[in-house]
Amino acid sequence: MKYVSRLTMAALLALAALLVYAPTSLTVRAGNSPDWPQWGQNPQHTGTALGIGQPPQRKIAAINYDPFVPQEMAEGHGALLTHYQVALINGSSVFMEFKTGTYNSCNPPGSGQPFPCGPDDWQSQIWNEGAWQWQGTRLVQAWSFATDWKPVPNSGTEPSNHSLKGWEPVFQPALSGSYIYVPGANGTIYKLNQSDGSVVSQINPFGGSDPSKFVVSGLTADQSGNIYYNVMQVDLAWPWDNDVVNSWLVKVAPDDSSSMVTYQSLLPGAPTTCVGVFAQNQLPWPPSQNAKPGNVPCGSQRAGLNVTPAVSPDGSVVYTVSRGHFWGRASYLIAVHASDLSLVWSTSFQQLLNDGCNILLPPDGQPGGCSVYGATGIDPTQNLPGSGIVSDQASASPVVTPDGSILFGVNTAYNYGRGHLLKFSSTGQFLASYDFGWDTTPSIYPHNGSYSVILKDNHYDSGSYCNNPTYCPKAKPGPYYITQLDANLSIQWQFQDPTKAKGHPDGYEWCVNAPAVDSRGTVFANSEDGNLYGIRQGGKGGQRTFMSQVLDAGYTPLSLDNNGLIYTENAGNLLVIGEIPE
């Protein structure tokens, strides 16, 4: 089959930069499943494409969706601390966020002054959802919708050390039927026609207007057209210093009716006081054989930030994640009935792991290891079995596997800044874990009556369990892998980023937070080396194309359409990779 390039890169960049267009109507595919309708492709978030991905060899389109990247990176001391939407695809139509408004840089960048500025002044930006249409060999913008959604504040009305540390939360719509649902202000969502962006309705489950309520997750659409998402209500003056006001899992039916349940009502027995960690003046940890750290307030239970709910294949159960507002170790995987949002079960992430001292850490008494009092397997920060930490700086979301198990990636405190992928049965039993990089929604490759799990697997240059270089010297950076596991979370193969450069002799981190896998098992992932990779089964091949820029990137997703085109992100640009048949 012959292929032709759709448009020159320069022409598309010029087109995208203008963001000026004559409104047109999209041709919306009816009666068939969209190519990529939501986070993780489907309600189970498996990241499994319907078609076969093309070799990542040629850029054919580019859309700049974030003109503020240079300013954002300056505030992040060279890092891009932003979570972005995955591109949504329905036939020849592409839907993607883009920002307008203003970005109020700090002076100097990164100083936080004059307050509010930089990430403390997210409110000055405008989040838009745009639609583009492939018309022959051109990608043409058809319509734009400016939503009133804003991220939950990084800080309140005064500077505070208790904040999101500049990590911008995710904005993630979803396609369902002929509509696209888009997050709005006050805990609402907008229902738009995919064809022309017109507003069908603004769905307000709460009634009235309350700027303290924020949509804090992506939207999930199930096979019946129901939409699920999370809302959090905060003290606007001190959102992270004061306890959360409330938090809800919301369901919106196709007829726009809504129902909701509070996280606190789903977990009435959650503790209000939690075990803290040892003090710095007690290093190395644990300070004695039977030592226990003091207690800290957990905070009320609420949705983990950026956790997009998942739905079982039969649509009967919704899975989500809760955490203590002040303490990410007080966290739970929750299953609720989709019909009425009543609790099916909940499972704590606390004290599940036994791979700390003398296992993932060096021998007791050695640099990076626990003190001589460390019992094999324990987390030295608490002298207890290790707990999963739900971080508000991550975008990890539950994944439902073909056998009904649930996967979720957590941070952990004792494995060099990494985390663990946790696996639970459909009834909530903890089954297995894998020590991995962090912040990932893994993808699933079904094959031969079983399945494999694909995730990024970065090794960071961090201290093992503390920040003191005497007791926890930083590890050597790398290696950085894309890793495929079997259904029991044992390694099948690994692919290492092959690019090395001055300052990166051990390669670059994988900056993908939700990789994609096609129907043949080829894995697509983007790296901080600026390349998009297509990795064949067995970890072979590693075909790649340079996207746009080498940078310390925020973690970004990618998607595939049914023609095998790859929609990936780099430096605030949506890039389309591949070619199209004549």
pLDDT tens track for 301-328? 999 999 999 999 999 999 999 999 999 9
Cα separation of 151 and 79, whole Å?
A: 19
pLDDT (average), residues 331-354? 98
The count of domains in the chain is 1
Position 2 pLDDT exceeds 50: no
Cα separation of 43 and 37, whole Å?
A: 9
pTM to 2 decimals?
0.95
- Rg (the chain; Cα; Å): 23
pLDDT of residue 35: 98
- Give the length of the chain: 582
pLDDT of residue 1: 32
pLDDT of residue 582: 62
pLDDT of residue 3: 28
pLDDT (average), residues 237-243? 98
Sheet bearing 406-411, strands edge to edge: 399-400, 406-411, 419-424, 430-436
One-letter amino acid of 416: Y
pLDDT (average), residues 20-28? 52
Position 5 pLDDT exceeds 90: no
- pLDDT, tens digit, for every residue of 518-569? 999 999 999 999 999 999 999 987 799 999 899 888 889 999 999 999 999 9
pLDDT of residue 24: 57
Position 572 pLDDT exceeds 70: yes
Task: Give me 348's structure tokens.
Answer: 């704590």
Position 15 pLDDT exceeds 60: no
Task: Give me 21's structure tokens.
Answer: 């267009």
pLDDT band at 485 (very low <50, low <70, confident <90, very high): very high
Cα separation of 512 and 496, whole Å?
A: 14
pLDDT (average), residues 88-111? 98
3-state secondary structure of 106: coil
**In 204-263, which ranges are E strands?**
213-215, 220-221, 227-233, 246-252, 258-262
pLDDT of residue 31: 52
pLDDT (average), residues 487-503? 89
- pLDDT, tens digit, for every residue of 168-188? 999 999 999 999 999 999 999
The DSSP secondary structure of 50-78, one letter per residue, reads SS-PPPS--EEEEEE--TTHHHHHHHTTT
Between the two ends of the chain, the Cα-to-Cα distance in Å is: 8
pLDDT band at 19 (very low <50, low <70, confident <90, very high): very low
* Long-range residue pairs from 501-508, CB within 8 A, at least 24 positions apart, any chain: 501/529, 501/550, 504/529, 506/476, 506/477, 506/478, 506/479, 506/480, 507/478, 507/479, 507/480, 508/480, 508/550
Residue 396 vs residues 276, 443, 513: alpha-carbon distances, Å:
24, 12, 7
Cα separation of 386 and 532, whole Å?
A: 35
Task: Give me 353's structure tokens.
Answer: 């792991």
State the residue range of the domain holding 119.
Answer: 3-581
pLDDT of residue 540: 87
Q: Which residue has the tokens 């957990």?
A: 298
Q: What percent of the chain has pLDDT over 90?
A: 88
Angle at 315 between CA 311 and CA 321, to 5 degrees: 25
3-state secondary structure of 431: strand
Cα separation of 298 and 271, whole Å?
A: 7
CATH number of the domain at 12, please.
2.130.10.10
pLDDT band at 11 (very low <50, low <70, confident <90, very high): very low
Mean pLDDT, the chain, integer: 93
- pLDDT, tens digit, for every residue of 390-410? 999 999 999 999 999 999 999
Q: Give the lowest-confidence range in 206-220, 360-374, 499-513.
A: 499-513
Kindly tell me the sign of the dihedral angle through the C-alpha atoms of 305, 306, 311, 316.
Answer: positive
pLDDT of residue 25: 59
According to DSSP, residue 477 is labeled P
Burial 458-494 (b: 16+ CB within 10 A, else e): bbbebbbbbeeeebbeebebbebbbbbbebebeeebe
Phi/psi of residue 118, each to 5°?
Answer: 55, -135
- pLDDT, tens digit, for every residue of 192-218? 999 999 999 999 999 999 999 999 999
pLDDT of residue 29: 56
Kindly tell me the sign of the dihedral angle through the C-alpha atoms of 33, 34, 37, 42.
Answer: positive
